[in-house]
């Protein structure tokens, strides 16, 4: 359950700008080792034209958006929570929206993002593959995680 005063709601395309800014700020704060590859204007176009076109997007908000999850059948594409709001159940509540909507999910996480890895493993996601980063634009080693309502992919260890 989210922190007091914070609600979950489905996002609207009009939220694209706020979500793009939150994504950029959260990545810079929580993943400082990643290169900055796009401008804020490019981020906005990406979220408005690609993410909202392909994904169901949910946000955690009070007076502003402090977290979001973008997912589509079989995949969680984005899950970011403002670091100032970590540990308040927002990521869990947002991820639960995707898990309730789909019986199986996969997602990519950077191998150095150990906090996120612990988060996903605590929610029964299991590592199924790793890469050297050659397939992502950041060129950062990552890992593929999977979850199934039937635990087909195994349990977290």
| pLDDT tens-digit readout, 2-52 | 666 899 999 999 999 999 999 999 999 999 999 999 999 999 999 999 999
- Comparing C-alpha atoms, which of 153, 97, 103 is closest to residue 124? 153
Q: Delimit the domains of the chain by residue range.
A: 1-102, 103-157
- CA 12, 18, 23, 29 dihedral sign is negative
Class of domain 1-102: alpha beta
Tokens of 72: 């589509």
Question: Residues, the chain, total?
Answer: 157
Query: Could you report the per-residue pLDDT of 71-105, keeping only the tens digit for each?
Result: 999 999 999 999 999 999 999 999 999 999 999 99
- Comparing C-alpha atoms, which of 57, 100, 62 is closest to residue 80? 57
Mean pLDDT (whole number) for 49-75? 97
Name the pTM for this structure. Answer: 0.91
């Amino acid at each position: 359950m989210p922190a007091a005063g914070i609600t979950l709601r489905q996002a609207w395309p009009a939220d694209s700008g706020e979500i793009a800014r939150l994504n950029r700020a959260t990545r810079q704060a929580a993943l400082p080792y990643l290169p900055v590859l796009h401008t804020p204007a490019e981020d906005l176009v990406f979220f408005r034209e690609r993410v909202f076109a392909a994904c169901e997007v949910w946000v955690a908000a009070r007076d502003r958006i402090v977290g979001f999850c973008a997912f589509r059948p079989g995949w969680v594409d984005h899950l970011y929570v403002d670091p100032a709001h970590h540990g308040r159940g927002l990521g869990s509540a947002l991820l639960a929206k995707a898990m309730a909507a789909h019986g199986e999910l996969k997602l990519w996480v950077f191998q150095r993002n150990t906090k996120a890895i612990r988060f996903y493993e605590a929610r029964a996601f299991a590592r199924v593959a790793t890469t050297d980063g050659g397939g992502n634009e950041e060129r950062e080693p990552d890992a593929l995680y999977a979850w199934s309502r039937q635990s087909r992919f195994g349990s977290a260890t």
